[in-house]
Amino acid sequence: MKTITTEKHHATCSALISIVMPTYNRAHYITRCIESILTQSYTNWELWVIDDGSTDETSQIVQDYISKDERIHLYAQENQGPSTSRKIGIRLSKGACITFVDSDDYIEPHYLEHLLEPLKIFPNLECIKGGYCRHEKGRTTIIRALEISNYLPSEAIAQPLDRKSVV
């Protein structure tokens, strides 16, 4: 998870969070991902799905969600790669905070709520770096971000993640 505040707004604990989801041919995964976003305890969010030229049913699945929830948006483009998709998502976002979620992943129900917790302590944060869990071959690996530290954004992004394996 990578999060930045934009120049548009100063982030607060009730800020709109823009979720940018680049996707390419992820029809088999994207439903679980979007459902995990819909179940968030923090509800002030918008989702930008950037379809990078999918040739499967990915866009149609997203369109079905758009018809049910006005917070969900789709931008379709010719295939340009995930980096370009993320940049387009950043430009389209209206939120004070931005986070990226890959379309073949899913997030826990309190993900966005926890994302904003450091802002209660450090309201001028510009970058929040979180961890994640990897479920593979019957094992879960927890990748944790370092404890709260005060870095310039260029320094923070270069910090390593702490890896711990859990059965």
**pTM of the predicted protein model:** 0.78
Fill in the DSSP letter of residue 19.
E
In angstroms, the CA 26 to CA 59 distance is 9
The SS3 of residue 127 is: strand
| Maximum alpha-carbon separation in the chain | 45
- Neighbour tally for 129: CB within 10 Å: 17
Residue 64 pLDDT: 98
In angstroms, the CA 126 to CA 84 distance is 22
Average pLDDT of span 125-134: 72
Mean pLDDT lowest for which of 18-32, 90-104, 145-159? 145-159
Number of helices (H), then strands (E), in the chain: 5, 9
Q: For tokens 């390419």, what's the residue?
A: 24
